Amino acid sequence: MITKAKLIDNVQFIYELALAQMELRSFGIEYKILNNLREFELLNLNFEKENMLVKRLAYFKTINSKVTDYYKIIKYNVTKSVNQYLTHWIYPYKGKFHPQMIRALLNIIGLNRGDTVLDPFIGSGTTAVEAQLLGINCIGIDVSPLCVLQSKVKVESIYVLDKIKALRNDAIRAFSSSNSGGLSLFLEESADYNGFLESIDDERVKNFYLLAKLVALSDQVRRSRKILDSFIKNLDLMIKSVEYYAKVVRELDLKLGMVKIMRCDARSLPLKDESVDGIITSPPYSIALDYVKNDAHALKALGYDLEKIREEFIGVRGTGSRRIELYNKDMIKCLNEMYRVLKPNRYCVIILGNATYQGREIKTVEFVIDYCQKIGFKLVNNIDKIIYGLYNVMQKENILIFRKVE
């Protein structure tokens, strides 16, 4: 009998087909691609390997007609976007990873339960959620307090779901009395809601309700929604996503990885030499996006001074071409740190694209490859990944896979 593996329907691009094959190879599977290009014949499968593939693969729908865990997980989604399942959707952060790609990369670089992956630019927490689901421990670092908050909420709320649900009505009451002005801006009037937050003992529950406020604020700033309606709608969706997460853990009998999220600077990591088993990350793409300006309303609502905090971010310090110089200097520090904390012979994946400045491409990808090779990383794969979307300025990014050679 032929053993077949079928790709998930949303696999459309060459880079995804490449990653799907790399996943199979990382589990020691030999295969033939069948004529329709969406099915593989698996050649050396035994019962144990079959179960492993069902539990771990990212790009496959079925193995030998058994439905994969991942295909079941992505059904638990409160949004219309296939990539925003479970808690991934919470907070509209610009520049999120495709979670499916991160799951595949965790497999490809050979990480297993109990190993630790580091993402020193954790952003919206994609690596943390995907590692947690696979039972891999994760250290997520970001200099942005907004990123730290959203990453924590996405992975920690599942442990306090009952406490979160018990406070839903109190939160809505506090929010509506903070916002008696309807469409008027919420910030100045939020004494009742702030009092509600202060009354919560458990840090994880408090973070959940703080983020719920920021989601509503961001909805109001970006789309002029009525803030109270938006608060209630998003709060209920957030609770539903965490319920889904808990359900998936139960139904698939997942043993979650431990996650630690920290607000720190990637230029100086608070980690010991050779202490992590893998790195998957995406630093700012040179000066392409001003993360401070982009999240100004939320950072202000969290009580931060924008000018002060700007100094800690890479890619936004200085002006004009000086900004690119500073970015390169900062990146060198980050890459040295990533090399230092990674165990020998393990892998570091960097996803990066070239931005444009005054009509010219800034060659950050080439700069990073050169520098990494100088300090002892060997480039083992460089995969072109197109960025799909009508309004994207950037056309492609690269998935760079390095190995730390001794």
Ligand X SMILES: C[S@@+](CC[C@H](N)C(=O)[O-])C[C@H]1O[C@@H](n2cnc3c(N)ncnc32)[C@H](O)[C@@H]1O
- The site for ligand X (CB under 6 A) is made up of 93, 95-97, 120-121, 123-124, 126, 141-144, 147, 265-267, 282-284, 291, 312-314
Output 121 or 402, the one with its CB closest to ligand X. Answer: 121
Output 124 or 234, the one with its CB closest to ligand X. Answer: 124
Output 314 or 355, the one with its CB closest to ligand X. Answer: 314
Give the C-alpha separation, 380 to 327, whole Å: 25
Output 141 or 235, the one with its CB closest to ligand X. Answer: 141
Amino acid at 207: N
Are residues 292 and 316 in contact, defined by beta-carbon separation less than 8 angstroms?
yes
Are residues 178 and 193 in contact, defined by beta-carbon separation less than 8 angstroms?
yes
Shortest reach from residue 76's CB to ligand X, in Å:
19
Give the C-alpha separation, 339 to 279, whole Å: 10
Output 97 or 209, the one with its CB closest to ligand X. Answer: 97
Give the C-alpha separation, 149 to 211, whole Å: 7
Are residues 331 and 339 in contact, defined by beta-carbon separation less than 8 angstroms?
no
Give the C-alpha separation, 23 to 276, whole Å: 21
Shortest reach from residue 223's CB to ligand X, in Å:
21
H/E run at residue 352: strand 342-352
Shortest reach from residue 181's CB to ligand X, in Å:
32
Give the C-alpha separation, 145 to 337, whole Å: 21
Which ranges constitute the DSSP H helices of 110-202?
A: 126-134, 145-156, 161-166, 168-178, 191-198
Strand-pairing partners, residue 60, are 7
Shortest reach from residue 378's CB to ligand X, in Å:
23
Shortest reach from residue 314's CB to ligand X, in Å:
4
Output 50 or 312, the one with its CB closest to ligand X. Answer: 312
Shortest reach from residue 29's CB to ligand X, in Å:
28
